[in-house]
Structure 1
């Protein structure tokens, strides 16, 4: 049995700094570590005023809540697991996070129906076993702004598809992570 401490994530910056959010047990759900989120937002410049963000495969919501806390105009969280979706809904309500839209849907299907050239920042962190990262990167150019950043978390086996430049990269334990930009805007 997991401890309650293990099923909590802490927001590390912005208006909800130090707030703890609970999330349920779910297969493949592993929140992005505090140190990794801190590094990512250092790369991005800490605050995201006016940014439109997509947290695909939201899981615990750690990345999306962090972006919303740091001033993003809107964060769309997409999560297919109903239990996890309910927990995200509760956390959104607890924070009165009116800049977060929750979509309880399959991430890949939702992505293929998304409006074009909309997002400044996309978080891609599906369960490692799914190996969806590269396939999603081939779809993303249609729905991101030309200057967008894409954060990808993976198991170290990601082959970044043509059209993307690795802008920053790191590793924490088994998790590898990249911050990508479209080639024309690297």
Structure 2
């Protein structure tokens, strides 16, 4: 795995051994950030520039690190698994992003109160466990999602998803086995 764009482009990202972590594929991650930074969601400019970002179900931190590479001001990584936390912290350190990153051990379904609401939420939960909707609602209730924030969810292509009340779907695309859903908080 590697960072696919921005100032850290081409830099490697490590992942723990085993099957507990399924990092977003480079191609899917590149598509996600192209839509965010250059697609119809970027009509008023790149929303990542100076953004406060939350990487929920962070795993290796690939999504949040990609956001930092492309101009985000700060990323908070929420992850519950010890091996993933270790990998995420190591990746943050190897890219020199310690001053722009907070890595928190937390259950996304029971998140701690937000220190600051985020304008972009990146979410890659375990597939086929019906986690995205309850996670979005839990994060919103804990103050993590700012008004008009963009929420990007990666799901398995055939996985069902119901848009939570208070959010609107902006885009929905399939990339091989994955599907990306882009939402905005109303």
Global fold match (TM > 0.5): yes
SS at match of 2:13: strand
Stretch of structure 1 that moved more, 75-84 or 135-144: 135-144
Question: How far did residue 28 of structure 1 move?
Answer: 4.2
The size of the alignment, in residue pairs, is 173
| Equivalent position to 2:181, from 167, 171, 178 | 178
Question: How far did residue 64 of structure 1 move?
Answer: 0.7
Question: How far did residue 117 of structure 1 move?
Answer: 6.3
Contact 1:117 1:146 in 2 (8 A): no
> Which residue matches 2:168?
165
Contact 2:109 2:138 in 1 (8 A): no
SS at match of 1:128: coil
TM-score, normalised by the number of residues in structure 2: 0.84
| Equivalent position to 1:22, from 14, 18, 35 | 14
SS at match of 2:125: coil
Stretch of structure 1 that moved more, 19-28 or 75-84: 19-28
Runs of 5+ in structure 2 lacking a partner? 39-45
CA distance in 2, matches of 1:30, 1:86: 15
CA distance in 2, matches of 1:107, 1:149: 17
SS at match of 1:161: coil
Query: What is the CA deviation profile of residues 161-182 of structure 1, one whole-angstrom value per residue up to 9, with x for unaligned ones?
Result: 2322111111122221101012
TM-score, normalised by the number of residues in structure 1: 0.84
Runs of 5+ in structure 1 lacking a partner? 1-8
CA distance in 2, matches of 1:127, 1:27: 11
Question: How far did residue 105 of structure 1 move?
Answer: 2.2
Contact 2:110 2:138 in 1 (8 A): no
CA distance in 2, matches of 1:33, 1:90: 19
Question: How far did residue 116 of structure 1 move?
Answer: 7.3
